[in-house]
Structures are given as structure tokens and as C-alpha cells.
Structure 1
Amino acid sequence: MIAHEIQTDLINSCAKETTRLMMEELALCLRYVDKIGRVVERFLGILHVANTTSLTLKTAIESLLMEHGLTFSRVRGQVYDGASNMKGHVNGLKKLIMDESPSAYYVHCFAHQLQLSLVAVAKENRDCVLFFQQLANLLNVLGMSCKKIRMLRVAQAEWIIKALELEEIETGKGMNQEMGLSRPGDTRWGSHHKTIMHILRMYPSIRLVLNKLVRDPTQSNEAMLAETMLTYFESFDFVFMAHLLQTIFGHTNDLSRALQKKDQDIVNAVELIHLTKIRLQLLRDDGGWETFLEEVTSYCVKHKVKVPQMGGKYKPPGRPSRFYKNLTNLHRFHVEMFLGLIDRQLR
């Protein structure tokens, strides 16, 4: 019982068992308007459920409400995530409750809807799909072991020290904090923006670690994946798309955070959406392309990424050229990628 390894195993076992029990329970909170018109939120209780099917959840919620003299007929709203057992149109929890109380209107969180919509629309663009596929490969290469995570952490710390010595970055409270590469999720607000932002800030460190993995003789299988990843990672295509998505998701992330404020009202929310569309339209039309291309080019020069001539013929990194015959770099990056992605977001 005093051995370190045994203690670690016991702690892990307790954590897993506790998590399992928590996942089998249902917490219920009430949000209501009191007699003088104030909006109040109160925790009601936790119930154990055998499974998470919609019927089981409905029965559990109903039993807890009945204990306190409440029924579904008094419910005026319900909010869930996008899981089928919660908001399904046929047998979802939302549908079962509305069958008994049609006035229990379902509301899907505005910020949640925004994140799902923006990511889904962005992935209509083939180049964006490729980017996220390669992003997943990158996270698989770098985030699947403690050794690689430590390699990246050390590389980033060394780069920050060097950059500070050369006065390439500023110092100050809260600046140059340690960053990680979390996997983005379609249902996590702003996760795509955060991941891309971290990758661009850690670009030199990530490239250094990928090069080390390629040269590591003990990593034969992963060295091949790292080499393939490095080819795309060092391309202008990757840097361009990363900057474009960071810019677009940066504008919409401000909107998403505003929609999550408790004191937000629908009139102001609509105005915020209108303002975000104006910002995207300005990026598209009002000299935004020239400014954006200058920013990307400056980044590439700083990190020694080859910048193609916009009037030259487009050559895809690691892909057959036959699908891009007679295509100039300007048309490829400006029309197909820059305008194509912004227009989808505006729609």
C-alpha cells in the first residue's frame, strides 16, 4: 500500500470509478421567473439513471418534478446540445416532453448553433477539409505520447528564450504563457480558433519536433507520417489556410463569446451578427485581400516558408498536379480559397 506504483494505480482506479458513477447520474436545475418578475436559477437535485436513452431521462426528470409538486405542463422551455437522444425530432427528449406540453419550447443555444454552422460550412470547401484532415494528422503525431508532448514543450520554451534575447517578442504579465495543442471539437465554442492560433504561434517549435521525429531511427512507422506531415506543414498552402481560418474564426469567435453572456438579449444579438457580417464583408472587398496576403507573406519570410509568385502556375503540395492544370497561384489562393471560404461564412 505504500509502493508508489500501487498508489498510482489505486488513484487511477478511484478516478475512473468516480467518473463512471457521475456519468450515470442526471443533474436537474430549474430556471424560472418568480412572482416579482426576476429570473432565478436553482439546483433541484441529482438522479441515478440506468442509461441515457430519451425515455429513461424523461422518466427521471418527471419523477423529480413530481416530488416537488411540479409537472411538465408548467414547463415553458428546454435546452440541450445536438445529441440525437436529446433533440431528436422523432424520439428525442425534446419531442417526448413537447408531446405532453406543447408550450415547452426547445431552444438551441445560439453560440452552439453558430459554432456548428460555421465549421460545417467551412468544411464545404475542399481545401478547408484537407486542412482539418492534416491538422488531425498533426495532432496525432505530436499528441499521442508524453515523450512527444515534452519534446514540443521543451522546443517551445527554448524558442521563447531565443526570441526574447533577439527582442522578437515582447515581455509582460500574462504574455508568453505555455501553450498546448488541444484537439478542436465541433461542439466546443471557439476550439478551432484556439487550436489554429496556437499552431501559428508554435510553428517553429512544431517544425523542429517534426524534423526530429523524421530523423529518429527508433520511430520508423511514425517517422513516415511525420515526413508526410512536414511536407504539407512547411507549404505556403498550410500557412495561408491557417491564417485565413484564424482571421475568420477570430471575427466569429468574438460573436460567439458575446452570445454566451447571460445578460445578452435577442435585439443586441441580431445587431452583433450584422456587425460580424460587415467585418467579414470588409475583409472580402475593402482591400482586405492585399492586407491579408501581406500578413501571410511576412509570416512566411520570418519562418522561411517559400512564397510562390502569384502570377505563376499553381503546384499543390503532395498532391497530383493534373487536377489543377492551367491554374495560377493568384486564382487559387484569392478566388478559390480566400473568397470561396469568406462567401460561405457570409452565407
Structure 2
Amino acid sequence: MRGMWSGLQALILNDCPYAYYIHCCAHRLQLALVKASKQVVPISHFFLTLLFLIRIVNASCKRNEQLKVASANEIARLIDLEELETRSGLNQISTLQRPVETRWSSHFRSVSSLLRMFTSTAKVLQNIIDDAIDEEHRAEEKSAYDGLTSFEFVFILHLEKETMEITDKLCQALQSQSQDILNVMHLVSSTKALIQKFRDDGWDGLLTTVISFCEKHCIDVLDMNAHYIARQGRAHAMELLRLSSALEPQEALKSFRSSDLCLLVMNFYPQDFIDYDKQVLEKEFYHFEHNVVQDPEFKKLKISTATTKRVFSAMKVVKTNLRNKMENDFLTDSLMLYIEKDIASTFSLDSIVDDFEDLKER
């Protein structure tokens, strides 16, 4: 749209040099909201799960038809129980709607459609799992079903629905072809006030709705009165110290604690390991325990932690902020030279140059 050479802006300016381009305020707001929401891990995870669910259910015409049939049956059941009103325009049968990043209102429609067809979606997913052609597809679809029926997903689903109901009117006004700036300013003010009111007084009502929904759909509810264990501050530090003690070489001689090492990775260093490494880590510890720790020769070793402590001290000097992209091999060689600098100082520079020259013809 706003490309300087071949965009619509450039084409119009070629014919009308006095025209000027203003980026759509609604799109700017939408992109800012999407970016902000992705910074909150549970919200970002919620929308990823939502997209995953919609992709699976809308993967074929057959599944779409199954969803429509299940929705029709559910509507008929609720009407028989007198839980739904019946009049013209109500209880329309539709499909799950996919959210679009440039339209925040589409997120509201997507959340609302899933909430409205939650029971039908769960039934269709169960049918898909039963009809899976192989274990790989069954595992993928079971993951989607487990995500749908988790308390965290249901809670955020209701939270997003309540929040987006408040902001939807403002979004619609910003996307209107005929802008009424005064009306938009009033909506900004009222939207902020309603969000603050929901933040101050809406918790009890939201939690009651979520618990009722979970009980209706046989979803396990978390115990809100359970004792909360803080994961920051002193408790966080104490847990780190306790788990780190599993790295002490003497601990391997006494009782190798692979479970503590796995927790250390998951809770404190998740970004340092890829997902595959995390999955196979526990089995690798089992191999290490069987092949190394239980080896008779290993048990005879007299272990000192002095070298380990020297390495960690040296690492602060060698791997600084300016060298944060240093590869492991280069870091190891640099640490070795720094730690054993007394030995390295005895080497002649000329001998090192000669050895390097003899390694390979350049």
C-alpha cells in the first residue's frame, strides 16, 4: 500500500503529487495490540492453541460438516431444555472463525464462535481422534483436545471474551469508513473506564462463570484456595541452589539425581535447550548414570571442585558482553589458556607460528 516505488501510494502520487498518505489508525492499533498480547506468554500460547484448533477442525469439508451437524444437535438439545431462546435470527449454525492479525475484531469473533460451539468442537475433535489414520495424527489431535479442555485455556477464553466485548465497539468505530472523531474519543474514554471497572470488580463474576462452565463440561477446576508457592525472590533462589547441588561431582558418587537436573533445565535454563533436547534429556541422564556413574573406575576417582570453580571464575573474564556470541570450541580454548596461563606463558610465539604453519598449506 505505502511502497515508495510500486505501492498504491506511489501510483497515486504519480498522477496527483499533492496527495498525502496516512496509515490506517485501526490497523496500527490492531498491530500494536497483537504485538503487546504476544509479550504475555499465557495469552500468546492461548492464541497459538486457538489457531491450532481451528486449523484441525477446518482442515476439510467433511470436518466442517461434522461441526455443523454437531452444532445443530446441540442447539436442538438446549432448546428442548429451554436453555436457549427461539426467535428469528437466533441460533444460527456457523463454523469456527480464524483470527486475522490486521483485524482485532476478528479475534473477538473467533473467541465468541469457539465459546458458542465449545461442546460441538470437543465432540468433533473426539471423532477426529477416533478416526485418525495413524498414531502421529492421533497424537496431534489429542494434543488439540487436551488444550481445548484445560482450565487455563477455558479461563483465558472467557477472559478474552469479556475484554474484547468492551473494546469491540471502539474497534468498529475506528474501522468505519466515515470517521466520527468526537464519537471515537468518547468511546476511548468509556472503554478505558469499563476496562478499569472490569479489572477492579469483575474477578469474582469471571471466576464464577469459568468454574460453572468447567463443571458443565467436566473440566478439572484448579483449587483457588491452595497454598501459593512463590517462584521468585528467596524461594526461587533456594530452589536454584538445591537443584544446582546435583551438579556437584561428589553427588554423582553418592546418588545421581537426574530428576533434579531435569528440573534445573526446565525451570531455570529453558531457553538454552531446544525442545528436542529437553525431551531426550532424562533418557540421556539414565545412559550417563548407567555407563559412567556406575562404572567401577569412576567410583575410585577422587574429585576436587577447585578446577570447576576456577572455570566459572575465568568465564566472567573471558566471555564478556562484547563476546556473547563466542562459540563453544573457541570459548573452551580461551578458558584453557586463561586458566593455565602460567604454562601458556612458557610457550614461544615463534614456535606457535611454526606449528601453525606446519598444520596445513594455506
Corresponding residue to 1:232 among 130, 143, 147: 147
| Aligned position for 2:226 | 312
Instruction: Indicate conservation of the 8 Å contact 2:71/2:120, yes or no.
Output: yes
- Taking the aligned partners of 1:111 and 1:277, their CA distance within structure 2 comes to 17
- Taking the aligned partners of 1:321 and 1:131, their CA distance within structure 2 comes to 24
| Aligned position for 2:107 | 192
Q: C-alpha displacement at 1:259, in angstroms?
A: 2.4
Map Cα deviations across residues 145-193 of structure 1 (whole Å, 9 max, x no partner). 1111111111111111111111122211111101111221112351111
Name the SS for the 2:85 alignment partner.
coil
CA separation of 1:250 and 1:311: change in aligned 2, threshold 3 A: same
Q: C-alpha displacement at 1:140, in angstroms?
A: 1.8
- Structure 2: which 5+ residue stretches go unaligned? 230-261, 269-362
Name the SS for the 2:110 alignment partner.
helix
Corresponding residue to 1:257 among 172, 185, 189: 172
Corresponding residue to 1:247 among 136, 140, 162: 162
CA separation of 1:165 and 1:227: change in aligned 2, threshold 3 A: same
- Taking the aligned partners of 1:136 and 1:321, their CA distance within structure 2 comes to 30
Map Cα deviations across residues 80-123 of structure 1 (whole Å, 9 max, x no partner). xxxxxx22579855468669977533222232322222222112
Which stretch shifts more, 183-192 or 259-268? 259-268
Name the SS for the 1:87 alignment partner.
coil
- Structure 1: which 5+ residue stretches go unaligned? 1-85, 326-347
- Taking the aligned partners of 2:125 and 2:263, their CA distance within structure 1 comes to 26
Q: C-alpha displacement at 1:263, in angstroms?
A: 4.3
CA separation of 1:275 and 1:217: change in aligned 2, threshold 3 A: closer
Corresponding residue to 1:289 among 180, 195, 203: 203
Counterpart code for 2:117: M
Q: In the comparison of the two structures, how many residue pairs are matched?
A: 235
| Aligned position for 1:344 | none
- Taking the aligned partners of 1:91 and 1:314, their CA distance within structure 2 comes to 57
- Taking the aligned partners of 1:93 and 1:237, their CA distance within structure 2 comes to 44
Which has more helix, going by share of residues?
2
Corresponding residue to 1:104 among 2, 14, 19: 19
Query: CA-atom RMSD, angstroms?
Result: 2.8
- Taking the aligned partners of 1:217 and 1:91, their CA distance within structure 2 comes to 48
- Taking the aligned partners of 1:282 and 1:102, their CA distance within structure 2 comes to 48
1:141 aligns with 2:56: yes
1:67-78 matches, cutoff 5 A: none
Instruction: Indicate conservation of the 8 Å contact 1:88/1:95, yes or no.
Output: yes
| Aligned position for 1:16 | none
Name the SS for the 1:244 alignment partner.
helix
1:174 aligns with 2:57: no
| Aligned position for 2:214 | 300
- Taking the aligned partners of 2:14 and 2:164, their CA distance within structure 1 comes to 38
1:276 aligns with 2:213: no
Name the SS for the 1:105 alignment partner.
coil
| Aligned position for 1:218 | 133
Q: C-alpha displacement at 1:250, in angstroms?
A: 1.7
Counterpart code for 1:292: L
| Aligned position for 1:11 | none
Map Cα deviations across residues 45-102 of structure 1 (whole Å, 9 max, x no partner). xxxxxxxxxxxxxxxxxxxxxxxxxxxxxxxxxxxxxxxxx22579855468669977
- Taking the aligned partners of 2:103 and 2:179, their CA distance within structure 1 comes to 20
Name the SS for the 1:300 alignment partner.
helix
Which stretch shifts more, 101-110 or 90-99? 90-99
Name the SS for the 1:175 alignment partner.
coil
- Taking the aligned partners of 2:174 and 2:48, their CA distance within structure 1 comes to 29
Instruction: Indicate conservation of the 8 Å contact 2:150/2:219, yes or no.
Output: yes
Instruction: Indicate conservation of the 8 Å contact 1:314/1:324, yes or no.
Output: no
- Taking the aligned partners of 1:155 and 1:313, their CA distance within structure 2 comes to 40
Instruction: Indicate conservation of the 8 Å contact 2:100/2:106, yes or no.
Output: yes
Name the SS for the 1:221 alignment partner.
helix
* TM-score (normalizing by structure 1): 0.61
Which has more strand, going by share of residues?
1
Greater radius of gyration (CA): 2
Corresponding residue to 2:118 among 200, 203, 207: 203
Map Cα deviations across residues 126-153 of structure 1 (whole Å, 9 max, x no partner). 1111111111211121111111111111
